[in-house]
A and B are shown apart, each in its own frame.
Chain A
Amino acid sequence: MSTHDHFDPSRRAFLGATAGGTALTIAGLPSQALARINAPHDPEKLKETTEVFGFCDMCYWRCGLKIRSRDGRAVKIDGNPEHPNNWGVVCGKGNAGLMVAYAPNRLKHPMKRVGERGEGKWKPISWDEALETTAKELLKVKKKYGPQALALIGHGSWEKPYHRLAHAFGTPNTTSPVFGLCCGPRGLSNMMIMGRNLTGNETLDLENCKYFLMMGRNVTESLHNGETLGWVNGVANGAKVVYFDPRYSITASKADEYYAIRPLTDHAFLLAMINVVINEELYDKKFIAEYVVGFDELKQRVQKYTPEWAEPITEVPAKDIRRLAKEMAAKAPSVFVYSPRRLTRTSNDFGTGMSITILNTLFGVWGRKGGVFTPQKYKVPEIDLPEFEHATAHRIDSGGDFNYEQPEIPLAHIQDEEGKYHRADGAGVMGRWPIANPQYGLTNEMWRAMAEQKPYPIRALMTAGGNGFLNSTNYDIIRKALETVDFYVASDVIPNEMNMYADILLPEASYLERYDDLQVGGAREGYVAVRMPAMKPLHDTRDAWTICKQLADRMGLSAYFPHDSIKELLDDRLKKAGSSLAEIEKVGILKIPADPVKNFPLDHGGKLKIKTPGGSTKAELIPGMLKQMGFDKALDYVEQVRPNEDEFHMTFGRIGFHTHARTQDNVWTADLMRENVLWIHPEQAAKRGIKEGDLVKVSDRKGRSGEIKAKVTARIRKDTIFMVHGFGHWDKRMTTANGQGVADSNLASYAVDPHVGSMSMGLSLVKVEKV
Chain B
Amino acid sequence: MNDTDQMICVREKKTIRLHWFNALCWLLLLASGFGIISGDFVRFAPTFWPELMQGLFGGNDNLVLAHIIVGISWVAVFVFFILFNFKGVVFPFLKKVLVLTPMAAFKDTWSMVVTLAHLFGLMKNTPVPPQGRYNGAQRLLGTMIIFCSLLIIVSGLYLFFGPQLLSFSENSFYGIIFRWALVGHASSVFLVIIGLIAHIYFALIEERESLEAMKSGNVSVEFIKHHNALWYEELKQEGKV
Contact = CB atoms under 8 A, between A and B. Distances in A.
Residue with the greatest number of chain B CB neighbours at <10 A, chosen from A8, A10, A37, A39: A37
A2 B122 contact: no
Given A4-B118, A39-B50, A41-B59, 12 more contacts: A2-B206, A2-B209, A6-B121, A8-B121, A10-B121, A34-B40, A35-B40, A36-B47, A37-B50, A39-B59, A40-B54, A40-B55
A306 B26 CA distance: 94
A40 B59 contact: yes
B51 A30 contact: no
Contacts, number: 49
A2 to B, nearest CB: 6
Nearest to A39: B54
Contacts of B38: 37, 39
Interface in A1-28: 1-2, 4, 6-8, 10-11, 14, 28
Contact of A39 (B1, B55, B119, B209): B55
Nearest to A28: B46
Nearest to B60: A39
Contacts of B40: 30, 34-36
A340 B31 CA distance: 71
B96 interface: no
A35 B207 CA distance: 41
6 contacts: A4-B118, A11-B120, A38-B51, A39-B38, A39-B54, A40-B59
Interface string B113-149: 0000011111000000000000000000000000000
A8 B122 CA distance: 11
B41 interface: yes
Interface of B: 1, 38, 40-41, 43, 46-47, 50-51, 54-55, 58-60, 118-122, 206-209
Contact of B47 (A2, A7, A8, A35): A35
Contacts of A42: 59
Contacts of B55: 39-40
Given A11-B120, A30-B41, A39-B59, A1 B50 contact: no
A2 B207 contact: yes
B118 A37 contact: no
Contacts of B118: 4
Contacts of B59: 39-42
Contacts of B207: 2
B190 to A, nearest CB: 12
Nearest to A36: B40
A323 B56 CA distance: 74
A2 B50 contact: no
Nearest to B5: A1
A40 B47 contact: no
Given A30-B40, A36-B40, A39-B60, A1 B51 contact: no
A418 B40 CA distance: 89
Contact of B43 (A1, A14, A30): A30
Nearest to A7: B121
Nearest to B41: A30
A1 B60 CA distance: 47
A39 B121 CA distance: 49
B96 to A, nearest CB: 24
A569 to B, nearest CB: 50
A40 to B, nearest CB: 5
A360 to B, nearest CB: 57
B51 A4 contact: no
A40 B63 CA distance: 11
A30 B55 CA distance: 21
Nearest to B58: A40
Contacts of A7: 120-121
B120 A10 contact: yes
Contacts of A14: 120
A4 to B, nearest CB: 6
Contacts of B121: 6-8, 10-11
Contacts of A10: 119-121
Contacts of A37: 38, 43, 47, 50-51, 54
Interface in A248-275: none
A41 B50 CA distance: 13
A8 B121 CA distance: 8
B66 to A, nearest CB: 14
Nearest to B59: A40
Nearest 3 pairs between A and B by C-beta? Answer: A39-B54, A6-B121, A10-B120
Contacts of A1: 1
Nearest to A41: B59
B119 to A, nearest CB: 7
A4 B124 CA distance: 11
Interface in A27-65: 28, 30, 34-42
B9 to A, nearest CB: 20
B41 A4 contact: no
A30 B208 CA distance: 37
A647 to B, nearest CB: 50
Contacts of B58: 40
A188 to B, nearest CB: 57
Contacts of A40: 54-55, 58-59
B120 A2 contact: no
Contacts of A36: 40, 47
A2 B208 contact: yes
Contacts of B41: 30
Nearest to B1: A1
A4 B115 CA distance: 10
Contacts of A34: 40
Nearest to B209: A2
A1 B219 CA distance: 12
Nearest to B222: A1
A36 B46 CA distance: 10
A36 to B, nearest CB: 7
A28 B48 CA distance: 13
A239 B119 CA distance: 88
Nearest to A38: B51
A36 B42 CA distance: 12
Contacts of B1: 1
Contacts of A35: 40, 46-47
A34 B207 CA distance: 43
